[in-house]
Amino acid sequence: MIKIYNTLTRKSEEFKPIHEGEVLMYVCGPTVYNYIHLGNARPLVFFDTFRKYLEYRGYKVKFVQNFTDVDDKIINAAKAEGVPALELSERFIGEFFKDAEALNVKRATVHPKVSEHIPDIINFIQTLIDKGYAYEADGDVYYSTRKFNGYGKLSWQNVDDLESGARIAVGDVKKDPLDFALWKARKEESEIAWESPWGLGRPGWHIECSTMSKKHLGETIDIHGGGQDLIFPHHENEIAQSEACNGVPFAHYWMHNAYITVNKEKMSKSEGNFFTVRELLKKYDGEVLRFLLLSGQYRSPIDFSDDLLASSRNGLERMRNCKENLTYLKAKGADGDMTDAEQKAVDAFDTYRQKFIDSMDDDANTADAISAVFELISEINTAIGSDATKEFAGRAMDMLMELCDVLGLLQKDAENDIEEDIKKLVEERQEARKNKDYARADAIRDEIQARGYILKDTPQGVQITKEQDKTNE
């Protein structure tokens, strides 16, 4: 039984989808005006993992993650570069996909863009006006927050308390301090804009996701996710818009991941204490970053540090070593039946699979799921002896990859990373040893190791692996 901590109820609840065997899931995507930073990558990696787990459990998942490609930040960045706003956003959508691929993130079923949904957004806003939930003022359109009974239910805030912190700026045409923009009139001629019943303008931020979720998933969805910084006002406003427009609940389950912090402070571009995924990828493997992002339960903050990166790399290296050993033994191991130790290990595999499932069923606890994988690896390593069999290696590999595929780890084939001339040097070394030319064999070993590879002589032959980069420890 899968249980989810629902931000809406602040309780752990059994997951029951609207349609049996299917999951409708919407996760807020990036505003594409720059490279994503590690804080942006946390929801990207976590919800990708949760999606993979739901699919592992047999669900058909329709997963939608949007791109905000129309926004003040995009307009300002485009103006600074002297390029059209949509040209800049399209470029960074491409860069986003490069980073996502490096993190082993699967593409969403649909990646809708705001710029491609303007007519839908206009229709959505018009419906809110017709129902009395929104009003036009000097080309802008605002949502009447107080008209929606239940505003504040996601963030557990009272409307009157919210009003005490709100202000109306001089010249603001809003009727109430809490009202928020659905449509923004164009301020200057160079600004990107579309025709609407209220004049030239563009959508407000909050209306985008309500519209795209309805367009691609329907009026009510199973799961809506994102970072905890989106709970208020973004997701609160989405609920107000969607439920006022459609008259039915917007999402049954709301999931929010905690921040990535640096020295206990939230990582953000505005604070200047952020690291882009792109710059981190120059020093670290994408799977190391993914491991780091999954090393804590998603609702707990992760405090970023070099020590945590080093720990993540070491943990991933342990996983990779197991996979590489099994890959080697599948080719070089003994034929015939498994040994007693191997059979005992195989008999225990279901225990580790169940520990993994129990962890992921418990509000997608990836930290405990990784621990279950390490227990499996210990069992595998203990069973491998000098008489290791191909059958055991194959069974163990299948079990290891079954779990790691869900986590999005060990997706790279290490064998493909070994350069062809290195493989030839290994053959030359074997020939030198066969001819008892040990000086030549040792020289070749030194050359191979100097190029970042590790040789291991086993009863089945020579095993070669690529050494992890230690320069940043």
SS3 for 334? strand
Is residue 350 within 8 Å of 397, Cβ to Cβ? no
Alpha-carbon gap, residue 179 to 76, rounded angstroms: 24
Mean pLDDT of 392-410: 98
Residues 6+ apart with CB under 8 A from 235: 28, 154, 224, 226, 254
pLDDT tens-digit readout, 364-373: 999 999 999 9
Q: So what's the pLDDT on residue 472?
A: 39
Residues paired with 334 in a beta bridge: 389
Confidence of residue 470 (pLDDT cuts 50, 70, 90): very low
Residues 6+ apart with CB under 8 A from 396: 326, 345, 346, 349, 380, 383
Least confident of 109-118, 167-176, 313-322, 460-469: 460-469
Number of Cα atoms under 13 Å in the Cβ half of residue 239: 25
Query: Which is more confident, 114 or 170?
Result: 114
Helix (H) or strand (E) holding 221: strand 221-227
Alpha-carbon gap, residue 2 to 58, rounded angstroms: 12
> Is the entire prediction scored with pTM above 0.85?
yes
Alpha-carbon distances, residue 460 vs 331, 384, 390, 456 (angstroms): 9, 12, 11, 10
At 453, give phi and psi (nearest 5°). Answer: -120, 155
Inter-axis angle of helices 286-294 and 38-56, to 10 degrees?
Answer: 80
β-pair type (453-458, 461-466): antiparallel
Least confident of 69-78, 115-124, 433-442, 457-466: 457-466
Q: So what's the pLDDT on residue 448?
A: 85
Give me the sign of the Cα torsion angle 451, 452, 457, 461.
negative
Confidence of residue 418 (pLDDT cuts 50, 70, 90): low
Is residue 49 within 8 Å of 364, Cβ to Cβ? yes
Confidence of residue 417 (pLDDT cuts 50, 70, 90): low
Residues paired with 457 in a beta bridge: 462
Is residue 391 within 8 Å of 375, Cβ to Cβ? no
Mean pLDDT of 198-217: 97
Alpha-carbon gap, residue 396 to 376, rounded angstroms: 9
Q: How many CB atoms lie within 10 A of CB 169?
A: 7
pLDDT tens-digit readout, 49-71: 999 999 999 999 999 999 999 99
Alpha-carbon gap, residue 67 to 238, rounded angstroms: 16
The mean predicted confidence, pLDDT, of the chain is 92
Query: Taking Cα atoms as reference points, which of 63, 56, 58 lies closest to residue 28?
Result: 63
Query: Taking Cα atoms as reference points, which of 217, 214, 216, 184 lies closest to residue 202?
Result: 184
Query: Taking Cα atoms as reference points, which of 360, 352, 285 lies closest to residue 315?
Result: 285
Confidence of residue 170 (pLDDT cuts 50, 70, 90): very low
Alpha-carbon gap, residue 174 to 181, rounded angstroms: 9
Is residue 142 within 8 Å of 189, Cβ to Cβ? no
Mean pLDDT of 235-247: 98
Q: So what's the pLDDT on residue 471?
A: 36
- Per-residue pLDDT at 461 exceeds 70: no
- Per-residue pLDDT at 469 exceeds 60: no
Q: So what's the pLDDT on residue 208?
A: 97
Q: So what's the pLDDT on residue 473?
A: 39
Least confident of 129-138, 216-225, 458-467: 458-467
pLDDT tens-digit readout, 263-284: 778 777 666 778 999 999 999 9
Report residue 304 as tokens: 């970023």
State the Cα angle at 287 between 283 and 293, rounded to 5°: 95
